[in-house]
Amino acid sequence: MKSVIGLLVVAVICILGYVLILKKTAPTGGGTPQQTIDVAGVKNDLIAIAQAERSYQAEHGSYAPLADLVSSGALVVAKTGRDGYTYDVDSSASNFRVTAHCAATTEQPCTNYFVDSSMEVQVAP
C-alpha cells in the first residue's frame, strides 16, 4: 500500500512539472497556429527586403524605396504585403527602415514589426 501511494505522489509531481514546463514554453500572444505562421512569413519577408536594401546600397551607394528595389532586381519577389500586413520602406542615403503594418481589429489584434540596418526584426512602437 505504501508503494502505491508513493507511486501516485511521484506521478502527480511529474504531471505538475510537465504542465508547468508546457506553460513556460507555450508561445505568447495567444494567436492561432495560422497567425503564428503568418507572422513568421512576415518576419522572413522583412529580412528579405532588408537584404535587398543592403544589396542595392552596395551597388548604388544609397538605400531605395520598395518600388526601386523591385525594378532594379535587388528584390525578386514583389510582395507589397502578406495576410493582412502591408510593407513600407523608409529610406535615405545612409539608412533604411522596413515596416510591416497590420490592420488590427477588436476581434483580431496584431503587432507591427520593423527591421533596419541592424537586420533584427523588432516590434514597432
* Residues in the chain, total: 125
pLDDT in tens, 88-125: 899 888 889 999 998 776 667 788 999 998 899 998 87
pLDDT in tens, 12-58: 998 988 887 876 665 555 567 777 788 888 899 999 999 999 988 98
Residue 6 has pLDDT above 60, yes or no: yes
What is the rounded average pLDDT for all residues in the chain? Answer: 83
Q: What is the pLDDT of residue 60?
A: 87
This prediction's pTM: 0.70
The DSSP output letter for 115 is E
Cβ atoms of 91 and 64 within 8 Å: the answer is yes
Q: Region 67-82: what's the mean pLDDT? A: 77
